[in-house]
Structure 1
Amino acid sequence: MMRQYELVDRVRQYNPNADEDLLNRAYVYAMKAHGAQKRASGDPFFSHPLEVAAILTDLKLDDATIVAAVLHDTIEDTAATREEIDNVFGKEIGALVEGLTKLKKLDLVTKPAQQAENFRKLLLAIADDVRVLLVKLADRLHNMRTLNFMPAEKRARIAQETLDIYGPLAGRMGMQGLRGELEELSFRHLMPEAHAMILARLEELKAKNGAIIARIEKELTDQFAKRGIKVLVKGRQKQAYSVWRKMERRSIAFEQLSDIYGFRIIVDSVEDCYAAVGVAHTTWPSVPGRFKDYISTPKQNDYRSIHTTVIGPGSQRVELQIRTQEMHEIAEYGIAAHALYKDVAGAPDGSRTGESRAYRGLRRTIEALSGDDSEKFLEHTKLELFQDQVFCFTPKGRLIALPRGATAIDFAYAVHTDVGNSAVGAKINGRIAPLISELHNGDEVVIARSDTQTPPAAWESVVVTGRARAAIRRATREAVKAQYGGLGRQIIERAFKRAGRSFVEDKLKAALPRLARASLDDVFVAVGRGEMFSGDVVRAIHPDFKEERASGPAPAKSESGWFGLNKVANLIFKVPGPGDAEGSIPIRGARGDLPVRFAPKGGAVPGERIIGIMTPGEGITIYPIHSPALTAFDDRPELWLDVRWDIDNARKELYPTQIVVTALNEPGALGIVATTIGETGGNIDNIAFVPHATDFREMLIDLEVWDIKHLNAILSQLRAKSVVSKVERVSE
């Protein structure tokens, strides 16, 4: 275990002005707080925060970060409190320690919601201070180094979490050295056989090609020296996990890999980087398509280098990474190579002085996604941060970095939320293209806009960036709120008018607690969506209000499919039940002698929300709330009626609906479908076969069910059958 003076010496090696008293106090405080606590390995628990601090001294971080590392488990695992940390070490260190404190252990596999919420809190803490991330990554690295002392099940869970979140997060922040070790340790614990196999193959290759590598290194150095370029050549071998990931991603064998060995060419200046490329390409043939300039176009994690591949000495493919010493440090240490912890003032654009692009991008991503719930936040953050990137351009030359697989819609939202919300078309490299077109490196994208455009909800399933998904969801919520809010207001106003009462907004505001809604808009939307009955709103203000219900025998169904309705006193009208000329299905929400029918395709069944559409001169059509046909009436709210089922539970009736079943075209398939429906209590009224592919047949089934719960049970049972490919309810 590291001694007190050793910790101080490590910090003073790179910071002669270190606050020795602060470091000593932190050491003593944490040692006393953890007391006799032990780790799974049997070592004193206090050894863990010291090792975390040691990792951070290798990154040459400031005193406050080192102290936060020493104290990072005190609030969580000891009797120490945030207030006490503030009093002893100051609020800055207290905030860092609290940002690192976990409520409970993260659990990726068995408790996704809990894990998502903790990850959300971690990233929100990172957005406030990047040092939280640096300590957290060092904490995870030491835990991974000692993971073999944990039970096998826990090892697998922690390793998977590291591979899914912490390794990519380190890479996203440009800390490739730390990312490599995290991924390598995770790979070893998750797939020990594959790890051992690849390590063995790499050792064989090293023994076989050792002389060639030394020759390439010498020849590279000599060639650059002849041209007057001072270089340092460093050979490197891919790590086992990188080899495995590339084999899996490209579905290739170990022997097909051409970049297991590479060489880093460290030069003095940017000019020398490009001069070195010239030397390499004039000395050896270059491999087409293998040149990437990350100096003129840095990656979003601040990585800068020139990559090229040549056919070098011995006809070997040689990958070269050409960079300056400063670029090399940033490539290895990422944001830890920046003096971010010295930042005290913000820039006018909201960035922070000395802040890296990687950290600035992370903060803005987190801020854009912070409105989502925990699980969506985790999903979208993974999409936004942990994917390979493509680089595209606006017409004015602005560089937009996006995850691989991003569409023109993602591009529009990356430019600005308003651009995405109003996007109606795109031009990619001067050619008109669909907004869902996938983008590639170097594409120039122009977005066509319209002030009347509202982003379709379906876009959410097309885009790949979390920012776009969050913005589309917000816009969809606002559109739904506007649509149903206006309808709900009209329904409520009509309800008050029918009741002979005045509708006063102030009185409704006072009654909001009785309706369990936070605002008037929430009430209007709830009524418009069919989630609340307008009569309940009237009673919330006028408790003495009573609805008069009347009913009467309904006439038989006419040939046209419409029903003549008896005039009723208030809000009840009744539609004849299936096969029942004298009975009726009471539906609440309209008055008058009006013809009424169900939507001809799919109908409506008890238990689902319904809407009435009044067609002047024709009557009322009843639709399920989810019916696509309702979109045709979005701009005609005056036609919408608030209607509800009013079913007598003692009276059981079957109601018609339609489903489409896609089944294998083989003997017995129809029998299985019919038997399943019969065993579940449904009644088949008619079956029509739709021409389809040779291997499959579509059946359009007129079905009778008790209610929506019964219908869903039938659909579920059908989907479970091996002969059934797909089952859907028909909706007009």
Structure 2
Amino acid sequence: MMRQYELVDRVRRYNPQADEVLLNRAYVYAMKAHGAQKRASGDPYFSHPLEVAAILTDMKLDDATIVSAVLHDVIEDTDSTREEIDRLFGPDIGRLVDGLTKLKKLDLVSKRAAHAENFRKLLLAVAEDVRVLLVKLADRLHNMRTLHFVPAEKRARIAEETLDIYAPLAGRMGMQGMRDELEDLSFKHLMPDAYAMIQTRLEDLRQKNGKIIATIERELADELAARGIKAHVEGRQKQPYSVWRKMERKSIAFEQLSDIFGFRVVVQSVEDCYRVIGVVHTKWAVVPGRFKDYISTPKQNDYQSIHTTVVGPGRQRVELQVRTEAMQDIARNGIAAHALYKDGVAADRETLTGESRAYQWLRRTIEMLAEGDTPEEFLEHTKLELFHDQVFCFTPKGRLIALPRGATPIDFAYAVHTDVGDSAVGAKINGLHAPLLSELQNGDEVEIARAEGQVPPAAWEGLVVTGKARSAIRRATREAVRSQYAGLGRQIVTRAFERAGKPYAEDKLKAVLPRLARASVEDVLAAVGRGEMFSGDVVKAVYPEFMEERKTAQARPRGEPGWFGMKKGAGLVFKIPGEGGYEQNQNSIPIRGLQGDLPVRFAPNGGAVPGDRIVGILTPGEGITIYPIQSPALTAFDEQPERWLDVRWDIDEGRHEFFPARIVITAINEPGALGTISSVIGDHAANIDNIVFRPLSADFREMTIDLEVNDLKHLNAIISNLRSRSVVSKVERVNG
């Protein structure tokens, strides 16, 4: 564990004017506050904040950031308070530490909403001060370095969260070194076999090609020196996760990768960068389409460099990155490079934030996403914004718009302004009319045609790739159908309170809005109406002591297939093929939200499986039919909200019951097609109940297959595998 004097020495190496008293006070305070706390590794907990601080000293950050790293867990994990931190260390450090503190007593019904709300709090604090992000990323990096000490059941969740959120966030901030390490550590825990295989192959390749790399380095350096260009040339190798991602994205084998090794040329000036390109392109043949100039057009995260690929010595393809020392610093440390000390004097706060386009992008993105979305939507849209590579397009007046790769004119319109996106009806790309769903390319000039009073179609939400566009479309369509869903939700919630024997009052519901992570009663009712929130959770939020009673079903005799009679205390028993026909399953499966002695059945023509959001439709005198929420049959009941029952699955993990589902396959009419399809279904341990054939043409046959599967994941795996078979042209699920 790092000693007190070692922390001070690390900071003073790059900042001789460091506040030694402040650093010592933070060290002693955090050590006492964490006391005898231990980490999963058995080490003193205090070793963790010290390691986080050490990571940040490598980035040469200011005293306040280092002190915040030492203190970052004291409010969350000890008896320390924000007021005490403000008093002892000042409000600036207090604000940073508070921004890094999870909401302790977050009284939310949904754990997913609680996780998303904590993430929203973190990013809102980042929007106020980028140093919060730097500490959080260093915190996550050290936690990932020690993840092998964490219980196995938690590792995958933490690694997946790192890969989904923190690694791409580091990349968006230009901190490529940190991103690479976070990705590789996540990859190692999520897919250990694939990680080990690629590591072994890379090591074999390094030993095999070591002399070739040294030769190319020497030849390139000698050629530049002969032209009077002072340059540092070094070979580099792709990281395991980067290799894996490219193999997956392009569906190619390791042997087909041509750019595992690359070379970086670091020179003294921008002029030298272009001189290097002139030398390289004159001496060696250029690979077409592989030249990118990020100096004249920097990436959104401030990254600048020239990329090119040539056929170099020994006919070896050589990927080159050419940049200056300053560009190299930003490429390595990203946004942290804007917080470096100059001549021993700390940069002021304007310098910390004002020079970084990456931080400006992040702050605008956070401010945009924070407007009116639920915590879960905020998290979803943030992920969308983080992942994509970029294309650069222009407005007719020459304004540069950076968008994710795969973006459409709809995304472009929303990037210009929300009002432009909401009113978009057409587009011109490079002066020519083009569909709004066209994929934009680098350098496109885009002009948006607008119509006042236009409401964006709800279908656009699934077609755009930016979080801003998706958020705005969802908000606009939400407002357009808000009253309809709120009315349906009011009916469902009122009935839920009646079944619970509790009085419904909007003032009581308004008082518990924070627990439901919604801003208004209308938002709650609309969420229930849309199926995003379970009505039982609303009752529980108002009456925490309410314990929902499970009402479950038991199969009737075999002579009444498909129907189930309600019986309190029993389970919902599904028909499962046995040696003597269909047998009762002794392990019952309850569905919540049903009440009374009413017969229950699944919807015809498709059924429902666990993982589907389901609703019950009450037919007086006949019983209740369970439909998946996406079933087109439900439109017949839009004007009869009193018949809707809010139900949901309540199944323990690890149970393997069978549920009805229907798929339609368009298959090539050739011998063995049915055998191939049956084998796929059998290999996934699913049952086939019935098959109906319909000829479409001489070459194609349509098969409607009734299946029995465990859940939605099981069904989707079967569909995905079927789509990969050469005899299958199309596979779709039928939803009642």
Q: The TM-score by the shorter chain falls in which range?
A: 0.5 to 0.7
Q: Cα–Cα, structure 1 residues 76 and 513, in superposed 2: closer, same or farther, change >3 Å?
A: closer
Counterpart contact for 2:302–2:357, Cα < 8 Å: yes
- Matching residue of 1:616: none
- Matching residue of 1:382: 383
- Matching residue of 1:696: 702
Q: Cα–Cα, structure 1 residues 454 and 229, in superposed 2: closer, same or farther, change >3 Å?
A: same
Report the 3-state secondary structure (helix = DSSP H, G, I; strand = E; otherwise coil) of the residue aligned with 1:307: strand
Q: 2:398 matched to 1:392?
A: no
Once the two structures are TM-superposed, the CA of residue 482 in structure 1 deviates from its matched residue by 8.8
Q: Deviations over 1:213-269 (max 9, x none)?
A: 111111111111111111111211111221121112111122211111111111111
- Matching residue of 1:137: 137
Counterpart contact for 2:663–2:734, Cα < 8 Å: yes
- Look up the equivalent residue of 1:696 and give its one-letter code: E
Q: Deviations over 1:380-419 (max 9, x none)?
A: 1111122222222212222211112211100100011111
- Matching residue of 2:53: 53
Q: 2:190 matched to 1:184?
A: no
Counterpart contact for 1:291–1:308, Cα < 8 Å: yes
- Matching residue of 1:681: none
- Matching residue of 1:410: 411
Q: Give the share of equivalent positions with the same residue, in percent.
A: 71
Q: TM-score, normalised by structure 1?
A: 0.68
Counterpart contact for 1:383–1:403, Cα < 8 Å: no
CA distance in 1 between partners of 2:506 and 2:200 (Å): 70
Once the two structures are TM-superposed, the CA of residue 111 in structure 1 deviates from its matched residue by 5.2
- Look up the equivalent residue of 2:207 and give its one-letter code: A
- Look up the equivalent residue of 1:387 and give its one-letter code: H
Once the two structures are TM-superposed, the CA of residue 116 in structure 1 deviates from its matched residue by 2.3
- Look up the equivalent residue of 1:167 and give its one-letter code: A
- Matching residue of 1:683: none
Once the two structures are TM-superposed, the CA of residue 522 in structure 1 deviates from its matched residue by 6.6
CA distance in 1 between partners of 2:278 and 2:717 (Å): 63
Q: Which deviates the most, 166-175 or 434-443?
A: 434-443
Counterpart contact for 2:302–2:334, Cα < 8 Å: yes
Q: Cα–Cα, structure 1 residues 521 and 6, in superposed 2: closer, same or farther, change >3 Å?
A: closer
CA distance in 1 between partners of 2:11 and 2:508 (Å): 62
- Matching residue of 1:94: 94
Q: Deviations over 1:549-604 (max 9, x none)?
A: xxxxxxxxxxxxxxxxxxxxxxxxxxxxxxxxxxxxxxxxxxxxxxxxxxxxxxxx
Q: Cα–Cα, structure 1 residues 691 and 259, in superposed 2: closer, same or farther, change >3 Å?
A: closer
Once the two structures are TM-superposed, the CA of residue 83 in structure 1 deviates from its matched residue by 1.0
CA distance in 1 between partners of 2:434 and 2:223 (Å): 47
- Matching residue of 1:674: none
Report the 3-state secondary structure (helix = DSSP H, G, I; strand = E; otherwise coil) of the residue aligned with 1:695: strand
Once the two structures are TM-superposed, the CA of residue 433 in structure 1 deviates from its matched residue by 1.0
- Matching residue of 2:455: 454
Counterpart contact for 1:343–1:355, Cα < 8 Å: no
Residue correspondence of structure 1 range 229-628 to structure 2 within 5 A: 229-339=229-339, 342=347, 344=349, 354-370=354-370, 371-480=372-481
CA distance in 1 between partners of 2:641 and 2:374 (Å): 32
- Look up the equivalent residue of 2:163 and give its one-letter code: L
Q: Cα–Cα, structure 1 residues 277 and 9, in superposed 2: closer, same or farther, change >3 Å?
A: same
- Matching residue of 1:81: 81
What is the RMSD computed on CA atoms of the aligned residues?
Answer: 4.2
- Look up the equivalent residue of 1:267 and give its one-letter code: V
- Matching residue of 1:619: none
Report the 3-state secondary structure (helix = DSSP H, G, I; strand = E; otherwise coil) of the residue aligned with 1:158: helix
- Matching residue of 2:27: 27
Once the two structures are TM-superposed, the CA of residue 728 in structure 1 deviates from its matched residue by 5.3
CA distance in 1 between partners of 2:716 and 2:271 (Å): 64
CA distance in 2 between partners of 1:159 and 1:474 (Å): 31
Q: Cα–Cα, structure 1 residues 726 and 51, in superposed 2: closer, same or farther, change >3 Å?
A: closer
Report the 3-state secondary structure (helix = DSSP H, G, I; strand = E; otherwise coil) of the residue aligned with 1:361: helix
Counterpart contact for 1:692–1:698, Cα < 8 Å: no
Q: TM-score, normalised by structure 2?
A: 0.67
Counterpart contact for 1:290–1:309, Cα < 8 Å: yes
- Look up the equivalent residue of 1:399 and give its one-letter code: L
Residue correspondence of structure 1 range 162-173 to structure 2 within 5 A: 162-173=162-173
- Matching residue of 2:125: 125
- Look up the equivalent residue of 2:403 and give its one-letter code: L
Q: Deviations over 1:504-541 (max 9, x none)?
A: xxxxxxx9969989999979x99xx99xxxxxxxxxxx
CA distance in 2 between partners of 1:372 and 1:460 (Å): 14
CA distance in 2 between partners of 1:59 and 1:719 (Å): 45
Report the 3-state secondary structure (helix = DSSP H, G, I; strand = E; otherwise coil) of the residue aligned with 1:168: helix
- Matching residue of 2:40: 40
Counterpart contact for 2:695–2:701, Cα < 8 Å: no
CA distance in 1 between partners of 2:366 and 2:213 (Å): 44
Q: Deviations over 1:668-702 (max 9, x none)?
A: xxxxxxxxxxxxxxxxxxxxx99967533799xxx
Once the two structures are TM-superposed, the CA of residue 428 in structure 1 deviates from its matched residue by 1.3
Report the 3-state secondary structure (helix = DSSP H, G, I; strand = E; otherwise coil) of the residue aligned with 2:241: helix
Residue correspondence of structure 1 range 135-214 to structure 2 within 5 A: 135-214=135-214
Once the two structures are TM-superposed, the CA of residue 61 in structure 1 deviates from its matched residue by 0.4
Once the two structures are TM-superposed, the CA of residue 478 in structure 1 deviates from its matched residue by 3.5
CA distance in 2 between partners of 1:287 and 1:149 (Å): 46
- Look up the equivalent residue of 1:329 and give its one-letter code: D
Q: Cα–Cα, structure 1 residues 394 and 9, in superposed 2: closer, same or farther, change >3 Å?
A: same
* Gapped regions of structure 2 (runs ≥ 5): 341-345, 487-504, 514-518, 531-615, 620-632, 645-661, 670-692, 706-714, 723-730
CA distance in 2 between partners of 1:132 and 1:154 (Å): 25
Q: Which deviates the most, 56-65 or 254-263?
A: 254-263
Report the 3-state secondary structure (helix = DSSP H, G, I; strand = E; otherwise coil) of the residue aligned with 1:338: helix
Once the two structures are TM-superposed, the CA of residue 15 in structure 1 deviates from its matched residue by 0.9
Larger Rg: 1
Report the 3-state secondary structure (helix = DSSP H, G, I; strand = E; otherwise coil) of the residue aligned with 1:310: strand
Counterpart contact for 2:353–2:359, Cα < 8 Å: no
Counterpart contact for 1:343–1:354, Cα < 8 Å: no
CA distance in 1 between partners of 2:29 and 2:193 (Å): 43
CA distance in 2 between partners of 1:721 and 1:328 (Å): 47
Report the 3-state secondary structure (helix = DSSP H, G, I; strand = E; otherwise coil) of the residue aligned with 1:319: strand
CA distance in 1 between partners of 2:327 and 2:123 (Å): 26
Q: Cα–Cα, structure 1 residues 431 and 645, in superposed 2: closer, same or farther, change >3 Å?
A: same
- Matching residue of 1:18: 18
Report the 3-state secondary structure (helix = DSSP H, G, I; strand = E; otherwise coil) of the residue aligned with 2:236: strand
Q: Cα–Cα, structure 1 residues 24 and 246, in superposed 2: closer, same or farther, change >3 Å?
A: same
CA distance in 2 between partners of 1:477 and 1:168 (Å): 29
* Gapped regions of structure 1 (runs ≥ 5): 347-351, 486-510, 531-604, 609-623, 631-641, 648-659, 667-688, 700-717
CA distance in 1 between partners of 2:21 and 2:161 (Å): 37
Counterpart contact for 2:307–2:322, Cα < 8 Å: yes
CA distance in 2 between partners of 1:138 and 1:422 (Å): 43
Report the 3-state secondary structure (helix = DSSP H, G, I; strand = E; otherwise coil) of the residue aligned with 2:354: coil
- Matching residue of 2:557: none
CA distance in 2 between partners of 1:661 and 1:327 (Å): 54
Once the two structures are TM-superposed, the CA of residue 117 in structure 1 deviates from its matched residue by 2.4
- Look up the equivalent residue of 1:381 and give its one-letter code: T
Q: Deviations over 1:413-449 (max 9, x none)?
A: 0011111111110111222111111222222211111
Q: Deviations over 1:60-108 (max 9, x none)?
A: 00000000000011111111111111111111111111111124799xx
Q: Cα–Cα, structure 1 residues 28 and 607, in superposed 2: closer, same or farther, change >3 Å?
A: same
CA distance in 1 between partners of 2:453 and 2:186 (Å): 50
Report the 3-state secondary structure (helix = DSSP H, G, I; strand = E; otherwise coil) of the residue aligned with 1:279: helix
- Look up the equivalent residue of 2:441 and give its one-letter code: H
Once the two structures are TM-superposed, the CA of residue 129 in structure 1 deviates from its matched residue by 1.1
CA distance in 2 between partners of 1:515 and 1:116 (Å): 22
Once the two structures are TM-superposed, the CA of residue 157 in structure 1 deviates from its matched residue by 2.3
